[in-house]
């Protein structure tokens, strides 16, 4: 097996790492505090060519692939900010449209996904469900050559930003169906923004759809196929999330090494203590295992391996807890200072916490993998 990245991928890593240090790190604390990405940042990220890495060239994409995409996400996430979500959504949602959309939908929406003024969103989660299609309250009623959608959605990333969304609703047969909807449609609003524990800048909102008219031609896939489309997209999101967790854990390890080398005790840096060195070694081992499992899963996705969706669930089951442990160990190495808002580790600690519940819980992913093995 070849574990080496290509020359192009190594150059991509280096470019995104330098971009993160130059453009994101200086404003990371402000993003976390304000809970919103600076208006000029999407333009800067878009200019790097990270949007549309999974979009076919005929629609303006680069076809760089999912492995290259997560390499970029990993570097962006080292900042402990949700900037990586920009790249994730400008790739995973268009990839879903590429897979399930009609020729007309692809022609209209894939080129839009390359624009820094367009913010793709996914709208499935509601107040009483985040995983069960039968529990959806949002409805889609046919009306001539359109559907009329009514309902409320919860925790919608970039739901208040302009662009398009893939919206899931119960159609007239009661089945879950997906639609591509323009967020500037009449009747669409985002009345509430959620203040989250960490990851300030995700811009998670509640959205309200009141008699929103969506053309029938904007139906994604076939009627009743919505949940299968969601499962495919969310598997992509899991791999992207794993990459982000690896990036945050790498940053936490770097911060721990730096702090332990500078913190003195009895005239020596605490990095000279066996206990600290053992912690650093354990952090490194967990991180490397998580990194290569994430890369392998993206590799399988790029090759459309038969079991890649199950492998994405298995990756989350391991990667998220392992990287959360790395960040927690780094916080402990920082001692009382790790509990203050003065150091980066505190932001990383809060930012990674949501990974166990965002993009499906760990328990759901264990059920997915367990069910696959039981068959």
Residue 96 CB contacts under 8 Å (≥ 6 apart), including other chains: 166, 220, 229, 232, 233, 236
Mean pLDDT by 10 residues, the chain (375 residues): 90 98 96 93 96 96 97 98 96 97 98 96 94 91 98 97 97 97 98 90 95 98 96 97 98 98 96 98 98 97 95 98 98 96 95 93 96 94
Name the strand (E) or helix (H) holding 233. helix 226-262
Helix axes 274-302, 226-262, angle to 10 degrees: 150
- What is the SS3 assignment for 245? helix
What pLDDT is stored for residue 131 in this prediction?
80
Is the full-model pTM beyond 0.85?
yes
Q: Please say whether the beta carbons of 13 and 51 come within 8 A.
A: no
Would you list the DSSP string of 169-224?
A: EE-TTS-EEEEEEETTSTTEEEEEE---SS-TT--EEEEEEEEEEEEGGGEESSTT
Q: How far apart are CA 323 and CA 154, in angstroms?
A: 27
State residue 186 phi and psi, 5-degree precision. -60, 130
Token couple for 149:
């959608």
Provide the pLDDT for residue 375.
87
When the candidates are 1.10.390.10, 1.10.3720.10, 1.10.540.10, 3.40.50.1980, the CATH number that belongs to 7-114 is 1.10.540.10
Q: Fold match between 7-114 and 121-224?
A: no
Query: How do beta strands 164-170 and 121-123 pair?
Result: parallel
User: What is the fold of 121-224?
Assistant: Butyryl-CoA Dehydrogenase, subunit A; domain 2 (2.40.110)
Going by C-alpha positions, the residue among 23, 22, 57 that lies closest to residue 37 is 23
The per-residue pLDDT for 198 is: 87
Bridge-partner residues for 179, per DSSP?
A: 167, 219
Structural domain spans, the chain: 7-114, 121-224, 227-374
pLDDT of residue 142: 97
> Rounded distance, CA 245 to CA 12, Å?
19
The span from the CA of 107 to the CA of 102, in Å, is 9
H helices within 263-307, ranges in order?
274-302
Distance CA 308, CA 292 (A): 15
Closest CA to 85 of 98, 76, 96: 76
pLDDT at 201: 84
CATH classification for the domain delimited by 227-374, as one of 2.40.30.10, 1.10.510.10, 1.10.240.10, 1.20.140.10: 1.20.140.10
Per-residue pLDDT, 70: 98
Q: Residue 206 in contact with residue 152, Cβ under 8 Å?
A: yes
């Amino acid at each position: 097996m070849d574990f080496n990245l290509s020359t192009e991928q190594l150059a991509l890593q280096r470019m995104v790492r330098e971009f993160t240090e130059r453009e994101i790190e200086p404003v990371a604390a402000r993003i976390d505090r304000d809970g919103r990405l600076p208006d000029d940042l999407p333009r800067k990220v878009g200019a790097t060519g990270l949007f549309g890495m999974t979009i076919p060239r005929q629609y303006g994409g680069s076809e760089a692939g999912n492995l290259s995409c997560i390499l970029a996400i990993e570097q962006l996430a080292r900042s402990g900010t949700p900037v990586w979500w920009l790249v994730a959504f400008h790739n995973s949602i268009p990839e879903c449209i590429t897979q399930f959309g009609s020729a007309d939908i692809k022609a209209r929406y894939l080129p839009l996904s390359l624009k820094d003024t367009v913010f793709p969103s996914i709208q499935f989660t509601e107040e009483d469900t985040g995983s069960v299609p039968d529990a959806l309250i949002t409805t889609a009623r046919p009306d001539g050559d359109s559907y009329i959608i009514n309902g409320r959605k919860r925790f919608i990333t970039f739901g208040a930003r302009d662009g398009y969304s893939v919206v899931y609703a119960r159609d007239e047969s009661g089945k879950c169906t997906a639609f591509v909807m323009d967020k500037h449609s009449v009747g669409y609003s985002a009345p509430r923004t959620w203040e989250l524990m960490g990851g300030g800048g995700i811009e998670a909102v509640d959205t309200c759809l009141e008699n929103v008219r969506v053309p029938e031609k904007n139906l994604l896939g076939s009627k009743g196929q919505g949940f299968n489309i969601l499962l495919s997209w969310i598997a992509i999101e899991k791999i992207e999330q794993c990459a982000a967790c690896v990036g945050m854990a790498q940053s936490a390890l770097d911060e721990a090494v730096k702090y332990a080398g500078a913190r003195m005790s009895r005239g020596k840096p605490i990095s000279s203590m066996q206990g600290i060195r053992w912690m650093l070694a354990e952090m490194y081992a967990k991180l490397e295992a998580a990194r290569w499992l994430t890369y392998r899963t993206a590799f399988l996705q790029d090759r459309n391996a038969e079991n890649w969706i199950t492998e994405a669930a298995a990756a989350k089951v391991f990667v998220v807890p392992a990287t959360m442990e790395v960040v927690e160990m780094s916080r402990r190495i920082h001692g009382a200072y790790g509990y203050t808002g003065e150091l980066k580790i505190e932001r990383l600690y809060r930012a990674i916490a949501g990974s166990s519940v965002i993009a499906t819980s760990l328990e759901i992913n264990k059920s997915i993998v367990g069910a696959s093995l039981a068959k």
